[in-house]
Structure 1
Amino acid sequence: MKRTHTHVSTRLGLVHAVITGSGDPIVMWPSLLMDAALWDAQVDYFARNHLTIAVDPPGHGRSSRLEQRFTFEECAGCVVDILDQLEIRRTHFIGNSWGAMIGGTLAATFPERVETAVLMNGTASSAPTVQQMQYRMLLMVIRILGGIRPPLTKSVVRAFLGPTTVSTRPQVVRKVVDIARGNDPVSIINAVHSVVIDRPDQRDLFASITCPTLIVGGREDRTFPLPELQAMADAIPGSELVVIDGAAHLTAAEVPDEVNRLVETFLANRAATSN
């Protein structure tokens, strides 16, 4: 199926998006250090019946360089900018990690633009002190090395992928490492500060979310372990939580068939309920 590449002018610079298919729209926003390619399997699956819009988030992939830090509200505004340029009134939203946080912000602050939200491997909490310290050290090494270079790639794999994927899905490991290494160091430094070190606690904000919301996590996720995922689910009224075995922080790439079935069932059930 033909994929169309476009750049959208947003409040955080030019954002690259891959647009495929037609029908009820789905916007997909990936994790920090990842780009739209995280969603390749979801685009292939859902573009048969949906208009899929897979985003390279600000400073990642083919989007323009991030010259400064940002807020989650600005990221949610980027999604609105994309929807406005594409003349889309409402959309389903699927986000992973950073994308999950932004999906929650979007659903809470622009409820009229969101049909449903699938928030994967995310959090609604601020970063604990230990995590902040770890990522400050990571940024020091990125500055010294000039980007994600060995031995940092091992740290990326450990943060994003669990033992099951590392031992049985070498193609996923290669893909994650290749995408991470392709990132611009200035953009990564600004993004890591904004998404991790300066991350706000959004639990009170998420309490105002009214759209149907599915929370998905990998049981082997080291970055946002299950208690953190549960806290996000508890903050969102009526949300549904599903934990997937044998997957970690990038479930969409690790177990794509399972994720596709899960999301398809969720969307079908919501459509049946609304009718």
Structure 2
Amino acid sequence: MTSTILPLSEPYGAVSCHRAGEGSPLVLIHGVGMQSAAWGPQIEAFAQTHEVIALDMPGHGGSAPLPEGTELPDYVAWLHAVLQALDLGPVSLAGHSMGALIAGGYAVSHPENAARVALLNGVFRRSSDARAAVEARAAEIRAGSFDLETPLARWFGQNETDQAARAQVGEWLSAVNLAGYAAAYTAFARGDSTYADGFAGIPCPLLALTGDGDPNSTPAMAQAMADAAPQGRAVVIEGHRHMVNLTAPAAVNAALQGWLDTEGAPS
């Protein structure tokens, strides 16, 4: 796996990514507080057949942050600049959590560049109570409150596999740039409906996947995303929560393989 820095023009700055394998491009975008390494099981599996490009989101890993006050469309514009710089042509695009919001927004905004899109543990049209709760957490983060244990308790169960993944995710969260984390979490809190009306116009195969124990990226949301897209399909992994790509990699990779095997968007 090769680490690469893309020197984009302002306002984006440096973008860090990890590339592995050869073949048709598969681009991966992680969630808030994570980094490209959070896709480890997927990079290992799909680099056997694809060129896998795992991006560090702005303000995470080695990527420069976006300016203060950015919203979800700014992250979508950032992704477009990255993909234009990489000059890959249409890509298979997968995002987790905040990355799913970016990927879904990109498929709406730039359908010609998305051969297919996978949204793992994404959010879609939160209830008013859920939106208020996540916006309150975003305000606390912007004020400098960094609560490590609450998200980890929400994301992981008590079995051995979950606890091993929890330890690694805890290390990534502890190392995150707080300003980048706050900016991304604010966009995440406000972005669940930004592109929702556009899902009906996504022409490519869409996979919406989550764990049945994820209280915020719920199975109902996954089904709603799949139902909204012409070629949508929902997959729910039983017995898992928010970091399902780490706690159930075999099941997630099987679902992603089926998605990759579907015919892409028409040219």
TM-score over 0.5 (shorter chain): yes
Residue 5 of structure 1 is matched in structure 2 by 4
Aligned to 1:25: 25
5+ unaligned residues in a row in structure 1: which ranges? none
Whole-Å separation in 2 of the counterparts to 1:199 and 1:7: 28
Q: Deviations over 1:97-134 (max 9, x none)?
A: 11111111111110110111111111232563444345
253-262 or 225-234, which deviates more: 225-234
| Alignment match of 2:242 (pick from 249, 252, 255) | 249
Cα deviations across residues 212-264 of structure 1 (Å, max 9, x unaligned)? 11111111102222222222222212201110012111111111122112211
Residue 167 (structure 1) aligned with residue 159 (structure 2): yes
Instruction: Give unmatched runs, 5+ long, in structure 2.
Output: none
Secondary structure of residue in 2 paired with 1:177: helix
Shift of 1:144: 4.5
The alignment-based identity, stated in percent, is 24
What are the superposed Cα offsets for residues 51-102 of structure 1, whole Å, 9 maximum, x if unpaired?
1110111111111134413232222222221222122111000111111111
- 2:229 corresponds to 1:209: no
In the other structure, the counterpart of 1:114 is: 114
Count the aligned residue pairs: 264
Structure 1 match to 2:150: 155
SS at match of 1:270: coil
TM-score by length of 2: 0.90
Change (3 A) 1:194 1:140: same
Q: Secondary structure at the match of 1:227?
A: helix
**Which deviates more, 79-88 or 134-143?**
134-143
Following the alignment from structure 2 to structure 1, what is the Cα–Cα distance between the partners of residues 94 and 245? 10
- Go from structure 1 to structure 2 and tell me whether the alpha carbon gap of 1:262 and 1:202 turns closer, same or farther (over 3 Å shift): same
The equivalent of 2:227 in structure 1 is 234
Mapped contact 1:20–1:47 kept (Cα < 8 A)? yes
Give the CA RMSD over aligned residues.
2.3
Q: Describe the shift of the 1:144–1:116 C-alpha distance in structure 2 as closer, same or farther (beyond 3 A).
A: closer
Structure 1 SS opposite 2:61? coil
